[in-house]
Structure 1
C-alpha cells in the first residue's frame, strides 16, 4: 500500500503539467466554474426559457446534517450546480464581477463599456475585467472571454486560475522546502485552498497571490535554468506577473505583498550575484522585461487616469488613511472557525471577513529561538534566510493589525492604504508559507531542541488559545462548544504531530482541515444557463437586438447590475466611480454629491415626489427619481416588479411580464 501511494504521488508530481493541461481542457469542455451565479434564482429570476421554475438551495435553507447533501454530486441539477453550494454573501463575485465579465464578453470587451450609464465605465478599473487591450497580457485567466464567449470564458477563468495557482504554489513550496516534493504537494493544496483565498478567489486577494507567485517563481527559475529559450519564456511570465499585479489597483493588498516581492527579489538577486549567475544576456533580458511590462502598465494607467482620479476623489472609499490596530488579540483563535464557515452562517460577522487560514505562526515564534540556538548552520542555508524574512513580514503584519503604527510611519511605509482587516488576511496567507518552511526545516533538523521547555511553552500557548476560544460568547453562539473544542484539539494535535516528526500522520490530519475549510467554499457549476437562458434574459436580449441604442432603467428590485450583461445600456448598475454626466442631469443643483460620489450599487425607485438621494449602506446609492426626469434622460425601457401603468399612467406601456412578476415597460412620454 505504501509503495503504491508513493508511486502515485511520484507520478502525479512528475506528470503534473500534463495532468494540469488535461484538467484544464476538461474544465473547458464541460463548461465548469466556481461562480455563485445560481444565487440569481433567489433574486427573482427563476423562470427558464421553457417556462419551468428553477430553484437553488443555499446553506440557510437547510438545517443540521441536511447540509451534507449539498456536497454530493448532482449531475442533473437544473441550476447547473454539480457539487457544493452557491454563496449569497459573495455578491461581489456573482452579482458584480461576474456580471461585468459576462457583459464584456457580450459587448466586445471594450476598454470603456458604454452600456454602463451615459459615460460608460472603464473596465480595467472595474475589477480587471477582460478588455481588448495590451494589458490583457497580464491577465491570462481573462483570455477565454476574448475568444470563447461568456460561458466558456467563465470556465476558462476559473479552470485556468485554480490549476495555475496549484502549480505555482507547488513551485514556490519547492523553493521554501529545498525541493521536498511531498511537502510541496501538500503545500500547494494548503495555499490554494486557504479559506481566505477561496472566499476572495475572484477578487483582489486571489489575484494578488496569483501574480505574486508568478513573479517569484519566474524570477527564481530564471536564474536556475541555462537555456536562453527558457529564460525568454520565464521573462515573459515575469512581465505578465508585473502587469497583472500592478493593475489589480487595490493597495490594501498590494502594499503588504509588495514588501514580500521586494524582499524576495533582494534574496534572489543576492544569491544569483554571489554565484556569478547574472551575465550580459541576463541584464539585457531584465531591461527588456521591465521596459515592455512597465510600458504596458504606464499605458493602462494613463488611459485610465480619469477613472482612477475619480475613484480616489470619492467619498467612499476615497483616499482613506489607515493606521492599523483594529484587530483584537482574541481574534488570533478565529482561524479555528474556518472549518465551520462553509457550513454555518455567523450572525456577528460575515464569512468573507472571518475567513483566514490555518497556520502555526504563534507557535513558530515561540519555538524559533530554540532552533536558532541549537543550529549552528542555520544561516548557511539560503532558504532559511527566506523563511526568516517571511516570519518577520508576517509578524509585522500581525503587529500592524493588532497594535498599529503612528500616522506618519503608516504614510511613509504606505500602510496608510492598508486596513487592519486586509493586513490580517495578508498575514494569514504569508503565515501559510511560513508554516510550510518551518515544517520542512524542523523535519530536516538533526539537532533536536530541548523538548521539555519547548513542549511546556507550547502547552501554555495551547491552553491560552483554548480559553480565548471558549471564553468568547459570540463563538459559542455560532458553534456548539463541543465542536469548538474538537476543532481546537484537532489543530493542536496537528502541530504536536509536526513538532515530534510524525510527518505522514500530520500531513493526513492537515489535509482534513484543508478539504473541510477550503475545498468546500466555492461550488462546482456547469455553464451560465442559470442566468443567460432565463425567460427574462432572452426577452432583454431580443429587445436589445431590435433596439441596441435604447436606454434602460431598472427600478425597485435587484436587477440594477443585470441588464448590462445582455448589452442593454442602462443608467443603473455598480459604479467604481460616479458618472458625472448622468449626475448633472439627476442632481442639477449638486445637492447630493456626498451621497452619489462613491463606489456604489446604484439603484432607483420611481416617484412623483422630488428626486432625492440616500445611502442605505456606504456602498449603496438609492435614488428616488421623479418620473418626469425620465424624459430628460431619454429612457426607453424600464425593468421593474411594479405596475407602473396603474401608478403613473399610460406613458408606461407594458410589453412583457414573466411568471416571477418581472415586467418590462416601454416609456412613451407623449401618451
Structure 2
C-alpha cells in the first residue's frame, strides 16, 4: 500500500516536473497508472481511505506548485488518456474475475459491515515509537509485538512550533501544512468519537483507530523530513523557545512512558535513557547541529534494526519439527483426509499440505457451517474474515467470537463426524472423550509443546 501510494505520487509529481520531456511524461504517466491500479486493487479500505486522502492533499499541493509553470498540450491528452485507459483496464479485468469474492467480503459482518467512528485509541500508545529500540530484544508483555512497532518522528516538536511555521506562510509551506493537517486529523480521529453519519459520508467508517495510527505515523515521518529541511534553512531559535519545546516534548514522553502500559515494559533507567536521548536529539535539531544530529539519529535507527534478521534461509523451522514430520508422514500414507487442530494449528497444518477443517477464511463459506448451525443463529460470528480456532471436547458445540477477525468453535466427537474429520492435533490428552461408536487412537505425543495427534475412528 505504501509502495503504491508513493509510486503514484512520484509519478504525478515528476510528470509535471519533467513536463518539457515527452519521454519522461510517458514514463511517469505509466508509473502513475500502474501504481494507481495497485493501490485500488489492494482492497484494504482501512488504509486506502486515509492514504487516499493523503494522495488528494498532495495533488492539491502539486496543483499549487505547478499551476503557473505547466501548460497542457495535445501530448498530455495522449499520455494522460493512456494512463487512465491502462488503469481502468487493469482494475475492470481484476474486478470482473474477482467479483464473487469481492461481494462475499462486502457482505460480511467484518470487514464488510464494520463501522468505525473514532475515539477508541489509547492516547499514550501514540508514543509507542519510543520503545522501538527494545522490541528486538524483549517481547512486550501486554500486547502483540508486531502491532506495536511504529515510526520515529518529530510531530510534537512541529505541533508546538506550528503557529510560527504556518501563520501567514501556508502558501510557501504548502507541503508541510497539508501534511500537518492530515496528521492532526488522524490524531483527532483516534481521540474523539465522530457521528456515524460523518464517518460514513467521509468513508472513515472503514478506518479503525489502529490503522489511522499507522497513517498518522507514516505522514509524521514525511512531515518530519520536511521540517528538518525547513528548520535548518531558517535562523536558529533563541534558547528560551528551545528549552520550552524540549521540555514540552519530554513531559509528554514521560507521561506516556511512566503512567501507561509501557511502564510494565520499561525500567526506570530505560525511561531516563529514552528521555535523555530524545532531549539531545531535539536540542541538536533546533540548534542546527546538522552532522551531529544526523549521526545520532542514524545511530538510533540502525541500532533499532540491528537485532532484527530480515533474511531467513530455508524452511527448516516449519518442516523439520517432529510434529510436522509426523503430520506429513500420516498424510503420505493416508492422503486427502480432513484434519482439525487446536491453537495455532489453523495456520500450521495448511503449511504442511493437509486438508484442514479450520484455517483462515478470507471469505466465509456460510454453507459449510450449516451442519453445526442449521438455523444460522451464530452467523454473526462466522460471517467474517477470520482465523478459525478449534477446541476438542465432549461439550456441546459452541461458537465464541475472540476478536473482530478470530473465533473459536468447540467441537464434540459427534460434530467431528459431521465433517468426516479423521485426524486431530490437540494440546491435551482426549482419550477420555472416546465413546462406543467413536474411538480415538493416539498416533503421536505428547511432545515438548504438549501436542498430540489422534486418529478418529467412526
Distance 1:641 1:400 in 2: 42
Distance 1:237 1:404 in 2: 38
Distance 1:427 1:296 in 2: 30
Q: Is the 8 A contact 1:637 1:667 kept in 2?
A: yes
Q: Is the 8 A contact 2:121 2:209 kept in 1?
A: yes
Mapped pair 1:429 → 2:180: no
> 1:268 and 1:596, CA in 2 relative to 1: closer, same or farther beyond 3 A?
same
| Secondary structure, counterpart of 1:524 in structure 2 | coil
**What corresponds to 2:245 in structure 1?**
458
Mapped pair 1:283 → 2:69: no
Distance 1:613 1:473 in 2: 34
> 1:649 and 1:298, CA in 2 relative to 1: closer, same or farther beyond 3 A?
farther
Mapped pair 1:385 → 2:174: yes
Q: Is the 8 A contact 2:236 2:287 kept in 1?
A: no
TM-score by length of 2: 0.85
Mapped pair 1:241 → 2:241: no
| Secondary structure, counterpart of 2:346 in structure 1 | coil
Distance 1:456 1:645 in 2: 69
| Secondary structure, counterpart of 1:586 in structure 2 | coil
> 1:650 and 1:531, CA in 2 relative to 1: closer, same or farther beyond 3 A?
farther
Mapped pair 1:590 → 2:379: no
Distance 1:574 1:494 in 2: 44
Deviation at 1:440, TM superposition (A): 0.8
CA offset digits 1:68-96 (Å, max 9, x no partner)? xxxxxxxxxxxxxxxxxxxxxxxxxxxxx
Deviation at 1:389, TM superposition (A): 1.2
| Secondary structure, counterpart of 2:135 in structure 1 | coil
Deviation at 1:573, TM superposition (A): 0.5
CA offset digits 1:340-365 (Å, max 9, x no partner)? 33333333444344433221112113
Distance 2:49 2:220 in 1: 16
Mapped pair 1:578 → 2:364: yes
Mapped pair 1:563 → 2:349: yes
**What corresponds to 1:301 in structure 2?**
95
**What corresponds to 2:156 in structure 1?**
362
Deviation at 1:234, TM superposition (A): 3.3
**What corresponds to 2:406 in structure 1?**
620
Mapped pair 1:253 → 2:29: no
> 1:460 and 1:665, CA in 2 relative to 1: closer, same or farther beyond 3 A?
closer
> 1:655 and 1:228, CA in 2 relative to 1: closer, same or farther beyond 3 A?
farther
Q: Is the 8 A contact 2:5 2:51 kept in 1?
A: yes
* Gaps in structure 1 of 5+ consecutive residues: 1-207
Deviation at 1:518, TM superposition (A): 4.4
Distance 2:389 2:126 in 1: 39
Mapped pair 1:503 → 2:293: no
> 1:629 and 1:457, CA in 2 relative to 1: closer, same or farther beyond 3 A?
closer
Distance 1:580 1:386 in 2: 48
Mapped pair 1:527 → 2:314: yes
Counterpart among 395, 405, 425 of residue 184 in structure 2: 395
CA offset digits 1:80-119 (Å, max 9, x no partner)? xxxxxxxxxxxxxxxxxxxxxxxxxxxxxxxxxxxxxxxx
> 1:393 and 1:648, CA in 2 relative to 1: closer, same or farther beyond 3 A?
same
> 1:563 and 1:482, CA in 2 relative to 1: closer, same or farther beyond 3 A?
closer
> 1:648 and 1:639, CA in 2 relative to 1: closer, same or farther beyond 3 A?
farther
Superposition pairs of residues 598-609 of structure 1, within 5 angstroms: 598-609=384-395
CA offset digits 1:185-213 (Å, max 9, x no partner)? xxxxxxxxxxxxxxxxxxxxxxx222211
Deviation at 1:314, TM superposition (A): 3.4
Deviation at 1:536, TM superposition (A): 4.6
Deviation at 1:451, TM superposition (A): 1.7
**What corresponds to 2:15 in structure 1?**
222
Superposition pairs of residues 72-151 of structure 1, within 5 angstroms: none
Distance 1:650 1:533 in 2: 36
Q: Give the count of matched residue pairs.
A: 454
Q: Is the 8 A contact 2:236 2:288 kept in 1?
A: no
> 1:237 and 1:664, CA in 2 relative to 1: closer, same or farther beyond 3 A?
farther
Superposition pairs of residues 26-37 of structure 1, within 5 angstroms: none
**What corresponds to 1:336 in structure 2?**
130
| Secondary structure, counterpart of 1:527 in structure 2 | coil
**What corresponds to 1:26 in structure 2?**
none
Distance 2:326 2:42 in 1: 35
**What corresponds to 1:419 in structure 2?**
208
Deviation at 1:463, TM superposition (A): 5.1
> 1:323 and 1:610, CA in 2 relative to 1: closer, same or farther beyond 3 A?
closer
Distance 2:457 2:202 in 1: 57
> 1:292 and 1:656, CA in 2 relative to 1: closer, same or farther beyond 3 A?
farther
| Secondary structure, counterpart of 2:376 in structure 1 | coil
Q: Is the 8 A contact 1:554 1:603 kept in 2?
A: no
Distance 1:429 1:497 in 2: 23
Deviation at 1:388, TM superposition (A): 1.8
> 1:462 and 1:616, CA in 2 relative to 1: closer, same or farther beyond 3 A?
closer
> 1:242 and 1:482, CA in 2 relative to 1: closer, same or farther beyond 3 A?
same
| Secondary structure, counterpart of 1:604 in structure 2 | strand
